[in-house]
Amino acid sequence: MSQKKKKSQESEESVAQQLIDYGMSMLVLIYVFTMLIFYPLYYQNKYFDMGEAKYSFFKSVSIFFLLFFLIFLVIWIFVYQEKFHLSSIIRRFSVTDWFVTAFLIISYLSYLFSEYRTSDVPGESPPALVGYGGWYMGLVSQVMFVLIYFAVSRFWKWSELTLFSAIITSGVIYQIAILQRFSIDPWKMYENLGPESIEKFISTLGQTTWFSSYAVLVFPLAVFYYWYDDRKWVRILAGIVTALGFGSLCTAHSDSGYVAFVLILMVFFWFSLESNKSFARFLEILLIGLASFRIIGIMQHCFPEKMIQLVFEDEKISFFITQSTLILVALVVVAVLHIAFNLICFTSLPERLKFGKSKKSQMNNTANTKAKGFDISKFLWLRKLMVVAAVAVLLGVVLAIVFTTKKMLPDSLAGFYDVGFFNFDDYWGNARGFNWRMALQAIKNASFKDMLIGVGPDCFALSMDKYCAQEVAAFWGQFKLACAHNEFLNMLVTQGILGVTAYVGIFISFIARCTESGKQTKLVVPFSAAALAYMGHNFFCYQQCICTPTVFLLMGVGELLMRNAVHSDEKDKLIIKD
């Protein structure tokens, strides 16, 4: 009888565990689906108060989710109490987990010791708690980012439906952006807006920088499925969205977007060197991108009267991308390279025609390639060459800016003096030069406490009042300098050296671990690319309620994949089995 009773209890426990596991995963699944599909499309009063509407959605949905998540978590711990141990949790913490935890603790300390954790104005939210109006990146948002990461990385269930839906959503958003730049406004978003406002806003995301910050995060998903998947309909879908993504890039006029897209392509190039099939598809992605640029250029040439009027920005980079001879030459060169590569990798015309159509032909690809003696994986040294070249280009640009700014160029290079990009002053990069200088000045003048843990989350504007008031007033007049337009400099001021170190550590450790894990599972590739793209993009931008929760969510998915690869025997439940 006692044995039957014990088995009955174990059965009841098993049912309870299955139910709570299902409840937790479904709750997280619904939240992820909402954030990746409904959130980007949501708006209230078109471009009027777009930031407020987006933050209101994010805050309401996230708080609702996190409240239920915490309730479910308490029940989950109770159900698993006999198998749940703190030592188990700590032992399974990854390096990224530790950086995320450190960032949470430092952000709280920054708030706790901030002179702005209370408001001097009755009825106004404490600045360090909620953040600056329009951005709202105070402690509340920082905590939500961390909780999103841990919730997704522990309890989300892999859902291709969610990822495919996110890809389709991004395609819709890209298409709207392209149409709007040719004065086709299907959702009437530009009604009652002047040319100066039309230039700044795009699609359903608001400012062009908000659009590009979203685009660079979800774009790797479409690229990945075209590059990795073998299903024909999936590759067609992903290819179309990839083309739209490239097209929207050269119409959004976001320079930081170009930086991020290059970093994304570098990640895929890194992994494409592992097999001939992957490299061939990487070349196809380049073809799609270059062809998309040329199609946009043809549209610009055929319908110049339809292009929106730019008041503050110029189109030099976009026109170069879409209409220059150099890009056309690159398109031809990549096309020839792709044809030549396929000819080298396949032994007969029927096999070339079959390439990419069936798993069997792809399996034969490896064997046939080895028979002919060609294997792209023998050229892994190209990875080091790519990194060296990237560093060299970066150093070259920095040196060019320094020598140009200090008027130290030889006469033969005097033309650089007329190029605004190479002349670093307060007006460089839409006044980023001034903003960065003020951030560094605030750090230089900061107290020991402010230098260590910052003035408080999203209190950059208040730090300007504290350390740089006269210069900011002289440059910006009555306007507030709310952020540095460099997320890492901004965080150095708001959360100090410790905060920015932990924050950068999150991304660097995640990308490094994805690079290592990618040898075993390629599913981590798009999430690694998204994290790197975010760093590159936001070196010139800032945290906000669209891109930052999305990147923490995507890193949570990547972390889930890596944890499952390591702890697949325990389904990554942070428990000790009997």
**Burial class of residue 575, CB neighbours in 10 A (0-12, 13-18, 19+):** middle
Quick: pLDDT tens for 25-37.
999 999 999 999 9
Residues 215, 235: Cα–Cα separation, whole Å: 19
DSSP summary character for residue 38: I
User: Nearest CA to 510 among 540, 530, 539, 496?
Assistant: 530
- 233-243 as b/e: b if 16+ CB within 10 A: ebbebbbbbbb
Question: For residue 162, which amino acid is it?
Answer: T
Token pair for 527: 């999430």
Residues 431, 475: Cα–Cα separation, whole Å: 10
Partnered with residue 201 across adjacent β-strands are 207
3-state secondary structure of 206: strand
Residue stretches of the chain with pLDDT short of 70 = 1-13, 81, 83-84, 311-314, 346-373, 566-578
**Spacing of C-alpha 571 from chain mean position:** 27
3-state secondary structure of 491: helix
User: According to the model, what pLDDT value does residue 314 have?
Assistant: 62
Residues 16, 138: Cα–Cα separation, whole Å: 38
Lookup result for tokens 């609702």:
64
Q: How far apart are the first and last CA of the chain?
A: 23
User: According to the model, what pLDDT value does residue 8 have?
Assistant: 52
Contacts 24+ apart (CB under 8 A), 561-565: 561/158, 561/517, 561/521, 561/523, 561/524, 561/527, 562/94, 562/513, 562/514, 562/517, 562/524, 563/92, 563/94, 563/153, 563/154, 565/517, 565/520, 565/521
Residues 75, 352: Cα–Cα separation, whole Å: 56
User: According to the model, what pLDDT value does residue 347 have?
Assistant: 52
Q: Where are the domains of the chain?
A: 156-379
Contact 458, 132 (CB under 8 A): yes
User: According to the model, what pLDDT value does residue 4 have?
Assistant: 52
Residues 206, 199: Cα–Cα separation, whole Å: 11
User: According to the model, what pLDDT value does residue 577 have?
Assistant: 31
Lookup result for tokens 């033309």:
415
3-state secondary structure 100-112: HHHHHHHHHHHHH
Residues 207, 546: Cα–Cα separation, whole Å: 11
Residues 209, 255: Cα–Cα separation, whole Å: 9
Residues 331, 289: Cα–Cα separation, whole Å: 9
Quick: pLDDT tens for 526-562.
999 999 999 999 999 999 999 999 999 999 999 999 9
User: According to the model, what pLDDT value does residue 574 have?
Assistant: 35
